[in-house]
Structure 1
Amino acid sequence: MTADHVTRSHPAEVLRAAYEAFAAVVRPLGDEESWLPTDCAGWAVRDLVFHCAGDAQRALVALHTPASEPADRDAVTYWQDWAPDPVGAANGRRWNRVGASMFLDFRQLKELYLETTAATVTAAAAARSDGRVTTQGHVLTAGDLMLTLAVEASIHHLDLVTRLPTAPGPAPTGLAAVRATLDGLLGRPVPLEWGDEHYARAATGRAPLTVAERLALGPDAERLPLFS
């Protein structure tokens, strides 16, 4: 799957594929597996699922919050607001851990995630891609919003399966959306023969760069992670 392909895919279908791939990992998990670590620092599986359920809930609100103002972000520039914030990240990890711990049985949290993402997919399919919506203080088209959601779900999918070796991977269209976004932020196609998964990990700070990779990237190496 290429980044060019994702531009020809309907954003709602890209989001559906990303959410359904993530749900395929979550659906069979039991309570014991929910305590396994992920690639998100300090988060177990249940913490990450709670975070992603909240993201889907935000998407539902956004898809039902039309905007009259012109869009000030697109699927790429949406991520430009990101900046390293160790204090904010630590507070976010703590808040998320407390919220996820309120579910005494992982099945409750799992059902919340599955129901919310299914509703989000339905809302996305019914939305006009060129309609403008509001989220996190910005205005985007609904289609661009859907692509940002697919990107986040696909990257967190990689985080989720770090200790689940038999779990299925992210949707190819979701990873293609990640590549298109990262190339857009970088300002050019990445000058390395990276597969989609490694590109997603390396450009978001999840995989360290080798000396050879730093040389190939040149000054752009210092710009990574592009977001986290």
Structure 2
Amino acid sequence: MRAPERGALPLGLAATLGRTYGRLTEVVQGLSDADYDRPTRCEGLAVGPLLVHLLYDAERALMGFATPSGAEADRDFVTYWQDFPPRPDGEPVPDTRFLRTVASAYAEPSKKLAGHWRELSEAAARAAVVALAEKGHKVETQGHVLRASDFVATLVVEATVHHLDLTLELPAAPEPDPEALQVTARTLDGLFGPEAWDVIGWDTTTYVLKATGRLPLTEEDLDMLGPSAIRLPLLG
């Protein structure tokens, strides 16, 4: 099968980020306190600690938008992830203990942790609107310089993958935003390469889950991918 051309990022990325974060808010706002102890697809992290991890990513967004740069961009929405290779199977998420400790400090996570996420994520989405309104705007983050649009795409990918992680035992939770899934797939396409993507027959959600190691590859998958299978997972 021939893959569609999906290399370009969509217009209106700030709105995509707003919807992406909004869907995550929908996932957590109706949970009970006990639900924050449910497991996720992230090794060693329950719902509460994983939401804390997402809080810090929204904080990364605000810090990035508040750190404009006049330097040349040295990363784009694909190459940014090359500094974050996937972890070996079974290796826990870095700072797992720290994230658990912070999550445990929220006495009523269904109110206070969810409320903190909503406020911080909404602020980050508003900041994205301002940053993307300036043509050619660049930001500094994680020791690199990215165009604002590429930076926003990295935020969409992080939130979308972890949205799928959070909903492992939450079958009634809403799905990620469709355009956010497409941005994530475009990013994975860039990391995987067109030759590999040309043989993939998965739907977009399955692609994201399998290309990030959230779902194991079956024998049929290995036959489909051939020698490209060794390149998975692309992200941790």
TM-score, normalising length: structure 1: 0.93
How far residue 92 of structure 1 moved from its aligned partner, in angstroms, is 1.6
Pick from 3, 27, 30 the counterpart of residue 28 of structure 1.
Answer: 30
How many aligned residue pairs are there? Answer: 227
* Aligned residue number for residue 119 of structure 1: 123
Aligned residue among 180, 188, 200 for 1:192: 200
Do the aligned partners of 1:130 and 1:141 also contact (CA within 8 Å) in 2? yes
Change (3 A) 1:5 1:141: closer
Cα deviation code 1:32-83 (max 9, x no counterpart): 1111111111111111111101100110010110112110100011111122
Find the aligned partners of 1:199 and 1:117 in 2 and give their Cα distance. Answer: 26
TM-score by length of 2: 0.90
- Work out whether residues 203 and 227 of structure 1, in 8 Å CA contact, stay in contact via their aligned partners in 2: yes
How far apart are 1:9 and its partner, in Å?
2.5
Q: Offset of 1:91 from its aligned partner?
A: 4.2
Q: Does 1:142 align with 2:142?
A: no
> 2:11 matched to which residue of 1?
9
Q: Gaps (5+ residues) in structure 2?
A: none
Farther off after superposition, 124-133 or 17-26: 124-133
- Which digits, 9 at most, give the CA deviation of each residue in 1:126-163, with x for residues without a partner? 11363110111111011111011001111100011111
Q: 1:153 matched to which residue of 2?
A: 159
1:70 maps to what in 2?
72
Distance 2:116 2:70 in 1: 31
CA contact (8 A) 1:5 1:176 kept: no
Corresponding residue for 1:102?
A: 105
Tell me the secondary structure at the aligned position of residue 8 of structure 1. coil
Unaligned runs of 5+ in 1: none
Q: Cα–Cα, structure 1 residues 71 and 198, in superposed 2: closer, same or farther, change >3 Å?
A: same
Q: 1:7 to 1:227 in 2, by over 3 A?
A: same
Residues 17 and 173 in structure 1, CA contact (< 8 A), matched pair in contact too: no
Structure 1 residue 193 displacement after superposition: 1.5
Q: Residue 47 of structure 1 corresponds to which residue in structure 2?
A: 49
Higher alpha-carbon deviation: 57-66 or 12-21? 12-21
1:217 and 2:225 correspond: yes
More divergent stretch after superposition (161-170 vs 92-101):
92-101
State whether residues 42 and 93 of structure 2, in contact with CA within 8 Å, keep that contact through their aligned partners in structure 1: no
